[in-house]
């Protein structure tokens, strides 16, 4: 009767434990602070360089000389210390770690709030701060409070114009921005079998938006097949019944295209309620919706047409971009008039490459729509790739048609 | 870990983007974060934070994991933050940089004096004392050392 978190961490919910980690990763933003804190602790060694990743994704390529100088120091350190290093253009840290690195049952920490994404593999994956990470670099372990778990029971399969993103917005809307605080979300039920790894990564990604420590799926045949494509062999995890502190049930077939209205990700409405609202920019990408299946779906909808507003598409990783080039998906997107960014976070955090202006509205496939996040005085609506494509073609918020 | 300060009240769900905006992150100069803290919420707030105890609503520090948010508050002179609940990464970050956090619901006592003792586990407002859930000994050690960096610098 244990939750997946309890099984992996080997302790009961509520306990404080010290635990060794299997993987630790930082990005260019948090990595700079981690390095500084690690030096402050006396530069006393690294627990295992092969298990420490440094992935440049947040401001890539560098936007000014201050950023470039900070990145230079971290880059030299990562290379000189033989860490697992991914330079600009390799992709978003969570995506890179999902491409055959993280395995079921592992304890994974990332210095980024969306590290929960990797719980999709049946790992215990969670975000920590930069100073936390420095102590982890040093010792290979950290303290955790073992979370209580919320069960999100999924039934059936997604139909019509809806996507996994709409399912994610549905549960975030129901739980609210702190409904998952300190807890783990476990996705269970027959419906999980109808979701591919890209869908699962997305559903775990948005767990952060409820304040949850992580989101998790049990590793099954879909997980095993996915990892085999990257040359990794993994086992399935046996499902056990568990007493959840709360259970939520979602019938996947009932989910329709949804949209999160700024400035809160838990203000969720049907896309049709906002139809006709003009937008200035559409952004497709991020650790939420920048995977190959997302780009392919977008290309499918814009192929042969022209977008009516400026549209930025950023592949989540180089692997995603390569696949999109190989299959012609990227050509379709460029021919439709979209602009392509270097694999990475792109304009998601409002630092460069697609910042929006005062009074502008962006329809984004990301996970956060806080005030000013993508630019001072700008507003962000969050929706699925299909909604983004329909909106890009019309220049105003548009409910996608059933494919 | 005793302290006191004048209450400065804020609402619920204060996110880290509001504490320190993304545009100020690309620097190691902590005084910049202290200067621009809460700029998008209320540009007059930063100078009033020295010696203050922030008293906020639930889920303080939600959003991105940026540690600069906790650092900005400490650098601006904030003594402690009191809220009914904190976002979990912010909670870790604050302990790790030596900023005291108090899980309690004090309402909105703007300008009143808040006293606390984390070791004994209480917070006091207007002569009324409430008990706190105790922090673990390990967490208290980190706070006492002034944060995780100092803790590890001296620990062998
Ligand atoms: S894509 Fe956006 S949400 Fe994801 S890691 Fe990058 S900045 Fe964070």
Same domain? For A298 and A150 the reply is no
Instruction: Find the residue in A nearest to B23 (Cα).
Output: A351
CB contact under 8 A, A132 and B17: no
Q: How many residues does chain A have?
A: 403
**Which of A47-51, A294-298, B119-123 has the lowest average pLDDT?**
B119-123
Same domain? For A156 and A237 the reply is yes
Domain that holds residue B105: 2-155
Q: How many CB atoms lie within 10 A of CB A377?
A: 12
pLDDT value, residue A316 = 98
The whole-number average pLDDT for the span A129-141 is 94
Report yes or no on A301 lying in a domain. Answer: yes
Beta carbon pairs, A and B, within 8 Å:
115
A383-397 residue pLDDT tens: 999 999 999 999 999
Which of A36, A44, A371 has its CB closest to that of B28?
A36
CB contact under 8 A, B21 and A130: no
Q: Name which of A72, A74, A129, A263 to mutate to probe chain B: the one with the most chain B Cβ atoms within 10 A of its Cβ.
A: A129
Please give the distance, rounded to the nearest whole angstrom, from the Cα atom of residue A58 to the centre of ligand 1: 7
Tokens at A21, concatenated: 């980690």
Residue that finishes a domain, picked among A199, A230, A256? A256
pLDDT value, residue B156 = 62
Domain containing residue A162: CATH number? 3.30.499.10
pLDDT for A377 beyond 80 = yes
pLDDT value, residue A108 = 98
Report yes or no on A401 lying in a domain. Answer: no
B39 has a chain A CB within 8 A of its CB: no
Which of A42, A129, A130 has its CB closest to that of B153?
A42
B26 has a chain A CB within 8 A of its CB: yes
A28 lines ligand 1 (CB under 6 A): no
pLDDT for B1 beyond 90 = no
Please give the distance, rounded to the nearest whole angstrom, from the Cα atom of residue A183 to the centre of ligand 1: 21
List, as ranges, residues 58-87 from B with C-beta within 8 Å of A: 58-59, 62-68, 70, 85, 87
A144-171 residue pLDDT tens: 889 999 999 999 999 999 999 999 999 9
pLDDT value, residue A203 = 98
Report yes or no on A64 lying in a domain. Answer: yes
Contact A244, A364 (CB under 8 A): no
Same domain? For A240 and A302 the reply is no
Same domain? For A330 and A227 the reply is no
Instruction: Find the residue in A nearest to B64 (Cα).
Output: A113
pLDDT value, residue A403 = 77
Question: What is the nearest CA distance from A160 to chain B, expressed in angstroms?
Answer: 32
B56-98 residue pLDDT tens: 999 999 987 788 999 999 999 999 999 999 998 899 899 999 9
The reported pTM is 0.90
- Give the contacts of A76 (CB within 8 A, at least 6 positions apart): none
CB contact under 8 A, A66 and B65: no
User: Any idea which residue has 């701060």 for tokens?
Assistant: A129
Q: Measured on CA atoms in the order A331, A27, B87, A116, is the torsion positive or negative?
A: positive
B26-55 residue pLDDT tens: 788 889 999 999 999 998 999 999 999 999
The whole-number average pLDDT for the span A32-54 is 95
pLDDT value, residue A273 = 98
List, as ranges, residues 88-147 from B with C-beta within 8 Å of A: 88-89, 92-93, 96-97, 136, 138-139, 147
The mean predicted confidence, pLDDT, of chain A is 96
Q: How many domains does chain A have?
A: 2
Same domain? For A170 and A243 the reply is yes
Q: Is residue A378 classed exposed, middle or buried when 0-12, 13-18 and 19+ CB atoms within 10 A define those classes?
A: buried
Q: Which residues of A touch B136 (CB under 8 A)?
A: 16, 143
Same domain? For A246 and A302 the reply is no
Same domain? For A232 and A338 the reply is no
Distance CA A7, CA A2 (A): 6
Q: What percent of chain A has pLDDT over 70?
A: 100
B40 has a chain A CB within 8 A of its CB: yes
Residue that finishes a domain, picked among A195, A226, A256? A256
pLDDT value, residue B67 = 85
Same domain? For A5 and A23 the reply is yes
The whole-number average pLDDT for the span A183-197 is 98
CB contact under 8 A, A181 and B147: no
Same domain? For A53 and A114 the reply is yes
pLDDT for A214 beyond 80 = yes
Same domain? For A247 and A365 the reply is no
Q: Which residues of B touch A143 (CB under 8 A)?
A: 136, 138-139
CB contact under 8 A, B59 and A41: no
pLDDT band at residue B140 using 50, 70 and 90 as cut-offs: confident
Q: How many domains does chain B have?
A: 1
pLDDT for B19 beyond 90 = yes
Please give the distance, rounded to the nearest whole angstrom, from the Cα atom of residue A346 to the centre of ligand 1: 8
CB contact under 8 A, A211 and B13: no
A263: preceding bond cis by omega (within 30 degrees): yes
Residue that finishes a domain, picked among A256, A275, A296? A256
CB contact under 8 A, B97 and A131: yes
A245-276 residue pLDDT tens: 999 999 999 999 999 999 999 999 999 999 99
CB contact under 8 A, A138 and B25: no
Same domain? For A227 and A125 the reply is yes
Domain containing residue B91: CATH number? 3.20.19.10
Report yes or no on A213 lying in a domain. Answer: yes
Question: What is the nearest CA distance from A300 to chain B, expressed in angstroms?
Answer: 33
Domain that holds residue A223: 1-256
pLDDT for A1 beyond 90 = no
Same domain? For A249 and A297 the reply is no
Report yes or no on A400 lying in a domain. Answer: no
Which of B17, B62, B149 has its CB closest to that of A40?
B149
């Amino acid at each position: 009767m244990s939750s997946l978190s309890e099984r992996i961490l080997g302790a009961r919910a509520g306990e404080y434990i010290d635990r060794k980690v299997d993987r630790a990763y930082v990005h260019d933003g948090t990595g700079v602070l981690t390095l500084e804190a690690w030096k402050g602790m006396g530069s006393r060694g690294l627990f295992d360089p092969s298990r420490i990743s440094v992935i440049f994704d947040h401001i890539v390529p560098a936007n000014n000389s201050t950023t470039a100088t900070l990145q230079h120091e971290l880059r030299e350190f990562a290379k000189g210390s033989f860490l697992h290093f991914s330079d600009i253009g390799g992709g978003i840290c969570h995506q890179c770690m999902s491409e055959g690195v993280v395995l079921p049952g592992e304890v994974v920490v990332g210095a980024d709030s969306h590290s929960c994404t990797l719980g999709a593999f049946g790992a215990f994956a969670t975000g920590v701060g930069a100073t936390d990470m420095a102590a982890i670099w040093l010792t290979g372990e950290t303290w955790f409070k073992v979370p209580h778990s919320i069960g999100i029971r999924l039934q059936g399969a997604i139909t019509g114009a809806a996507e996994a993103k709409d399912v994610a917005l549905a549960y975030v809307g129901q739980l609210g921005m702190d409904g998952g605080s300190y807890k783990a979300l476990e996705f269970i039920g027959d419906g999980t079998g109808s979701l591919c790894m890209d869908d699962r990564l997305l559903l775990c990604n948005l767990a952060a938006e409820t304040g949850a420590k992580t989101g998790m799926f049990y590793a099954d045949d879909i997980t095993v097949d996915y990892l085999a494509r990257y040359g990794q062999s993994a086992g399935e995890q046996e499902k056990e019944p568990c007493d959840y502190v709360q259970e939520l049930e979602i019938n996947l077939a009932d989910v329709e295209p949804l949209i999160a209205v700024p400035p809160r990700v838990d203000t969720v409405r049907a896309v049709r309620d906002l139809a006709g609202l003009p937008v200035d920019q559409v952004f497709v990408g991020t650790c939420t919706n920048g995977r190959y299946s997302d780009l392919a779906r977008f290309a499918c909808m814009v192929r042969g047409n022209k977008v009516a507003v400026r549209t930025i598409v950023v592949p989540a990783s180089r692997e995603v971009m390569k696949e999109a080039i190989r299959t012609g998906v990227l050509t379709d997107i460029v021919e439709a008039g979209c602009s392509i960014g270097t694999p990475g976070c792109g304009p998601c955090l409002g630092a460069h490459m697609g910042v929006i202006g005062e009074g502008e509205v962006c329809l984004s496939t990301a996970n956060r729509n806080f005030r000013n996040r993508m630019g001072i005085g700008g507003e962000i609506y969050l929706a699925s790739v299909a909604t983004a494509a329909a909106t890009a073609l019309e220049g105003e918020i548009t409910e996608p048609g059933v494919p | 870990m005793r302290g006191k300060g004048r209450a400065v009240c804020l609402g619920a769900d204060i996110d880290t983007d509001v504490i320190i905006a993304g545009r100020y992150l690309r620097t190691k100069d902590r005084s910049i974060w202290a200067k621009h803290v809460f700029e998008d919420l209320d540009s007059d707030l930063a100078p009033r934070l020295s010696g203050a105890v922030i008293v906020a609503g639930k889920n303080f520090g939600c959003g991105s994991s940026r540690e600069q948010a906790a650092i900005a508050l400490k650098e601006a002179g904030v003594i402690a933050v009191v809220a009914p609940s904190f976002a979990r990464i912010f909670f870790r970050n604050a302990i790790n940089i030596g900023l005291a956090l108090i899980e309690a619901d004090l309402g909105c006592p703007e300008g009143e004096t808040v006293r606390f003792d984390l070791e004994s586990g209480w917070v006091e407002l207007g002569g009324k004392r409430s008990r706190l859930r105790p922090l673990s000994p390990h967490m208290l050690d980190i706070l006492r050392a002034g944060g995780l960096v100092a803790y590890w610098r001296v620990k062998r």
